[in-house]
Amino acid sequence: MAKNAIITGGSRGIGKAMALKLGEKGYNVVINYRSNSSKALTEEVIDEIKSEFGVDALAVQADVSKFEDCEKLVKEAVEFFGEEKVDALVNNAGITNNSNFIDLQPDAYEAVINTNLVSMMHMSHLCLPYMVDNGDASITCTASVGGMTGVINQGDYCAAKTGVIGLVRALALEFAPRQVRVNAIAPGMIMTDMLRGVNQDELNALAATIPLGRIGDVSDIAGALDYILDATYLTGQTISPNGGFVLQ
């Protein structure tokens, strides 16, 4: 029987790599994005998944910080799958501010909390009825090393990502009896648009602070998802591919 997956924030970066991994593993994939400028990018991902892996894929625009957009996303996904069954939800969409906390305005920090944390509550709340009691199903949430440590000028982001890890633990306990596993991936520094504004000298300096001596690649995170999807005895855990960053 075909397996069905929904991934948020799959237009680019880590989410794109994870969307491709879902396709490679045989899931039909609904890929969410937010901005008009990412429509074409997401459609390229859809085409690649369909042609490379022979599964079905659909792009759905939705701002997952808004409950009504999440409702639309899940409704369209279930209609697309043609059955009321979701095997994998990957809550990945995220944004960051980079500001000292005095200057950071309430609308900016609320946007970070709503996009990085509340969206994962909305999507889990809406998808779980299609996930419980189907055998193995999984929710995987993208957290961050910022949720395991503190980061200067990232108070809102660290709060959201620590919240993600707490949400994962609680949902894992609540839904284990109904065979839904819930885990987090907490990436270290990964080369995506989030780091594109940083110049080469700063990137080299950042890489030098990482024990393994390099900024991570999106494939490092897609590899963690690959493991989690098949790890049928793993729940409530945070896996952190971070090059040793949090050991120091």
Active centre residues (catalytic)? 157
The residues in 58-87 that bind ligand NAP, with binding defined as CB under 6 A, are 63-65
What is 121-135 written as a DSSP string? HHHHHHHGGGTTTSS
189 is a contact residue toward ligand NAP (CB under 6 A): yes
Which of 94, 155, 241, 243 touches ligand NAP (CB under 6 A)?
Answer: 94
| Contact by Cβ (8 Å): 184, 143 | yes
9 is a contact residue toward ligand NAP (CB under 6 A): yes
Interface region with ligand NAP, contact rule CB under 6 A, candidates 5-13, 100-108, 205-213, 228-236: 5-13
The residues in 215-234 that bind ligand NAP, with binding defined as CB under 6 A, are none
243 is a contact residue toward ligand NAP (CB under 6 A): no
3-class DSSP state of 214:
coil
The residues in 125-164 that bind ligand NAP, with binding defined as CB under 6 A, are 142, 144
Interface region with ligand NAP, contact rule CB under 6 A, candidates 22-30, 88-96, 129-137, 225-233: 88-96
Distances (CA, A) of 136 to 4, 19, 175, 177: 12, 19, 11, 11
The CA distance from 174 to 177, in Å, is: 7
In the complex, the smallest distance separating the C-beta of residue 38 from ligand NAP, rounded to whole angstroms, is: 3
**The Cα angle at residue 134 between residues 129 and 137, in degrees rounded to 5:** 80
Which of 4, 124, 154, 192 touches ligand NAP (CB under 6 A)?
Answer: 192
In the complex, the smallest distance separating the C-beta of residue 9 from ligand NAP, rounded to whole angstroms, is: 3
* SS3 track for 4-21: EEEECCCCCHHHHHHHHH
| Residue 194, both tokens | 């989030």
197 CB-near residues (< 8 Å, 6+ apart): none
Binding footprint of ligand NAP, residue count (CB under 6 A):
31
Instruction: Please report the sign of the dihedral spanned by the C-alpha atoms of residue 7, residue 174, residue 131, residue 51.
Output: positive
240 is a contact residue toward ligand NAP (CB under 6 A): no
Which CB, 203 or 231, lies closer to ligand NAP? 203
187 is a contact residue toward ligand NAP (CB under 6 A): yes
The residue with tokens 């809102």 is 156
Interface region with ligand NAP, contact rule CB under 6 A, candidates 44-52, 78-86, 120-128, 182-190: 182-190
| Residue 20, both tokens | 């491709």
235 is a contact residue toward ligand NAP (CB under 6 A): no
The residues in 21-60 that bind ligand NAP, with binding defined as CB under 6 A, are 32-35, 38
- Estimate the share of the chain in helix, then strand, then coil, as percent rounded to the nearest 5: 50, 15, 35
Binding stretches for ligand NAP (CB under 6 A): 8-15, 32-35, 38, 63-65, 92-95, 115-116, 142, 144, 187, 189-190, 192-195
